Chain A
Amino acid sequence: MVTEEKKEEILERLKQAVINYDEDSAKEAAKEALEIGVDAADAIFNGLVKGMEEVGRLFEAQEYFVPELLMCADALYAGLDILKPHMKKLDLGVKGSVVIGTVEGDVHDIGKNIVKMMFDVAGFTVYDLGRDVPLDKFVEEQLRTDSDLVCLSAMMTTTMVGMKTVIDKLKAKNPNVRIMIGGAPVSQDIAEKWGADGYAKDASNALKDAINMISSLRKMRDEAEAKRAQ
């Protein structure tokens, strides 16, 4: 049985590995966590994600810039790849599958990738269509996978208008689907006008939103566990 002290140490190491963008020590700590029997979900949420929350704070405070943010994300993925296969499926009453991509004509996908990462962490099934995705492909993929969420990203005003077409088509085929849009030219106004359900301005905001989402997810998980313990 793993002692509380040892567990705390491992979680701290996972957190620090993400903050210090140290892929090697993220891998090492993740392996050790599994070896000594730390719960994988615990290691992800209270180790890796805690680290990413701190990174989000550093980024907002302009201590960290885009390169650090990206390297931290790489370190998180390095740990996640090892831990995820051992994580039990979360039962939150949501199906948790999402289609994500950057719309036709646009090749800027760093923000999209960061949002995707957060879905990965949260245990969603992510269907990543990549960048420069033909508009109809979003609709097709949503129908094929029956996903409850579609995330669209665009970095340019010229490609942004494609998102409206996708939203209309998606809503026509399936009124229940939730749509999130993001990217530099998008605003809350546009999101509302076009009928999107959610909006994130750029990589840092998407990160913040995604972190909020995961934090609340963690809260729900803790509550569910507390209920079970009673």
Chain B
Amino acid sequence: MRQRQRGLSESLREELLRNGASVVGFADVTDALKGDIAHLRMAVSIGVNRNLNGETITVLSNLQKRVIRCLRSWGYRYLCIPPDSDRQNGSFISRLYPLFTHKIAATSSGIGWIGKNGLLISFEYGPRLSLATVLTDAPLVPDRPIEFSQCGSCSLCRDYCPSKAITGNEWSRNNPYIELVRKTPCNMYKKRIRATKGKPNCGLCINICPYGRKNFSGQQCGEINLQADGLAG
């Protein structure tokens, strides 16, 4: 039985990695599920590196379809939680999406931790992953969860945040609801640059994160600093 579970898990993982997933993790999310979705206790967390191309959402939804095809052929139930930026449809099931967040699946399956900037950070890709989740009752073998933030003493995102919204607190599995980013100043700042510069988002805390950056050096910090001043001004 154990052998078969391992077989299912690994063949699913391989299939996804072969078809464009940057990372794949399995998690037992029993504790995070409430009410209506409690019977789907395993989560398949899929991350795609946003730097790859502009079609991250398409890649993710195709990967989800692959997961569904596998699970259905094996005779298991599933519930797709699509990427956050792809939820405009008015379907019945879309009303249940807010019951589950991708970050829970991603941290529980060891893909990454929640950084000081409140985003999912992976060692390899930093905060540059787009996430999708499929919940299922298939007996997949869970990966090892991440328990603590791996940000360490780095506080670049807090230091350079133009709205000073990042508190510098550190996430851990024991304390998942600690305030990392103050919503109000962050939102107000984003609203302002939307109005004045026509930019849809700020994203500085993503760009500055040293995890997953190519050829990161202290010099780049300076450049980002200048940009930040420019934005703030």
B36 contacts chain A at the CB level, 8 A cutoff: yes
Task: For B79, give its contact among A67, A73, A110 (CB under 8 Å).
Answer: A67
**Is B95 at the interface (CB under 8 A from chain A)?**
yes
B72 contacts across to A, CB distance below 8 A:
20, 22
A75 CB, min distance to chain B CBs, angstroms? 10
Q: Which of A52-107 contact B (CB under 8 A)?
A: 65-68, 70-71, 73-74, 77
Q: How far is the CB of A24 from chain B (nearest CB, A)?
A: 8
Q: Does B106 contact A (CB under 8 A)?
A: no
Q: Which residue of B lies closest to A110 (CB)?
A: B95
Across the interface, do B39 and A113 meet the contact criterion of CB distance under 8 Å?
A: no
Beta-carbon contact of A70 and B93 below 8 Å: yes
- Give the docked Cα–Cα distance between A68 and B40 (Å): 11
Determine how close the nearest CB of chain B comes to the CB of A213; give it in whole angstroms: 19
Q: Note all chain B residues with C-beta closer than 8 A to A77.
A: 91-92
Would A71 and B79 count as touching, CB distance under 8 A?
A: yes
Q: A66-B96, A67-B79, A67-B96 are in contact. Are A74 and B39 (CB under 8 A)?
A: no
Which residues of A lie under 8 Å from residue B37 when comparing CB positions?
65-67
Instruction: Tell me which of A65, A73, A77 has the highest count of chain B C-beta atoms within 10 A of its own C-beta.
Output: A65
Q: Is the CB of B92 within 8 A of A70?
A: yes
Residue B199, interface by CB 8 Å: no
Which of B37, B93, B95 has the largest count of A CB atoms less than 10 A from its CB?
Answer: B93
Bound-state Cα–Cα, A91 to B93, Å = 33
Residues of B33-74 at the interface with A, using a CB-CB cut-off of 8 Å, are 36-37, 39-40, 72
Complex contact A68–B96 (CB within 8 A): no
**B182 at the binding interface (Cβ < 8 Å):** no
A67–B95 contact, CB under 8 A? no
Query: From B72, which residue of chain A is reached at the shortest CB distance?
Result: A20
B91 adjacent to A65 (CB under 8 Å): no
Contacting A at CB under 8 A, from B69-117, are 72, 77, 79, 91-93, 95-96
Which of A20, A22, A67, A70 is close to B40, meaning CB atoms less than 8 Å apart? A67
Q: Which residues on the A side are within 8 Å of B91 (C-beta)? A: 70, 74, 77
The answer to whether A110 and B77 touch (CB under 8 A), given A20-B72, A65-B36, is no
B93 and A74 within 8 A (CB): yes
Find B92's partner among A22, A65, A73 (CB 8 Å cutoff): A73
Whole-angstrom distance from the CB of A100 to the nearest CB of chain B?
A: 15
Contacts of B40 in A (CB 8 A): 67
CB A101 to nearest CB in B, in angstroms, measures: 16
Asked if B92 contacts A110 (CB within 8 A), the reply is: yes
Contacts of A68 in B (CB 8 A): 77
Q: How far is the CB of B1 from chain A (nearest CB, A)?
A: 23
Give CA–CA (A66, B38) in the complex, Å. 10
Closest CB in chain B relative to A1 CB, distance in Å = 34
- Shortest C-beta distance, A81 to chain B (Å), equals 12
How many Å from the CB of B2 to the closest CB on chain A? Answer: 27
Using CB atoms, name the residue of chain B closest to A20: B72
Other-chain contact of B36, A66, A74, A114 (Cβ < 8 Å): A66
Provide the bound-state CA to CA distance between A66 and B92, in Å. 10
Please give, as numbers and ranges, the residues of chain A lying within 8 Å of B96 by CB-CB distance: 66-67, 70
* A117 CA to B92 CA, complexed, in Å: 10
User: Which residues 195-215 in A have Cβ within 8 Å of B in the complex?
Assistant: none
Some 10 contacts from A to B, beta carbons below 8 A apart, are: A65-B37, A67-B79, A68-B77, A70-B92, A70-B95, A70-B96, A71-B93, A74-B92, A77-B91, A114-B92
Besides A67-B37, A68-B77, A77-B91, 9 other A-B contacts (C-beta < 8 A): A65-B37, A66-B37, A66-B96, A67-B36, A70-B91, A70-B95, A74-B92, A113-B92, A117-B92
Binding site for A on B (CB under 8 A): 36-37, 39-40, 72, 77, 79, 91-93, 95-96
The 4 closest A-B pairs by CB, nearest first: A66-B36, A70-B92, A70-B93, A73-B92
